[in-house]
A and B are shown apart, each in its own frame.
Chain A
Amino acid sequence: RKEVEQDPGPFNVPEGATVAFNCTYSNSASQSFFWYRQDCRKEPKLLMSVYSSGNEDGRFTAQLNRASQYISLLIRDSKLSDSATYLCVVNLGNFNKFYFGSGTKLNVKP
């Protein structure tokens, strides 16, 4: 079983839509959680960390559900520029290993 699993998509949504991605992780000892954004042929860039209480950054909201071992990313009022692949990343609490999901592709269309 993979450490981190994501729906690969693609999610095709119109501009202005709200879209949500989930990511499940297998190790209950996981302590740090992140969402990264990766544009085509570029390196991943940190979008936001995910805190236990949930956190929001503008149109983006991240939540953690430890009981069910998943994290989520909600994007409101989607923009064309949000089109990218979103990677879920989980860490066991030290910098030994960060586990990456294979990414969820989002296409925002006019």
Chain B
Amino acid sequence: DGGITQSPKYLFRKEGQNVTLSCEQNLNHDAMYWYRQDPGQGLRLIYYSHIVNDFQKGDIAEGYSVSREKKESFPLTVTSAQKNPTAFYLCASAGVSNYGYTFGSGTRLTVV
């Protein structure tokens, strides 16, 4: 079955560490996105990519980095510059816009 896979499901980060969240899709979607969700809040866009080797900053890109070396993969690195990284991170992909997004099951990141 086609889908979008995020790993790990839970991730713990120490202060000052960089961590990378994985996102892989086999839906043949061109566009991929990273969102952050804080408790009781809506989704905020971190980065997005429409094609391989190209990506754009979203509304809250500071302290994050991404790469898009393959169509299927869009990893997100949470750097030590992100001062408040504890959140639920959602990756999504989209093909034809009328069909909306498909989301991965999310990664819950906690700073310890």
Contact = CB atoms under 8 A, between A and B. Distances in A.
B contact residues, range? 20 to 34
B105 A43 contact: yes
A91 B97 contact: yes
Interface stretch (A62-70, A71-79, A98-106): A98-106
B105 A42 contact: yes
A16 interface: no
B43 interface: yes
Contacts of B104: 43
A95 B42 contact: no
Interface string A8-48: 10000000000000000000000110101000011111100
Interface string B88-112: 1010001101111111111010000
Contact of B97 (A42, A43, A93): A93
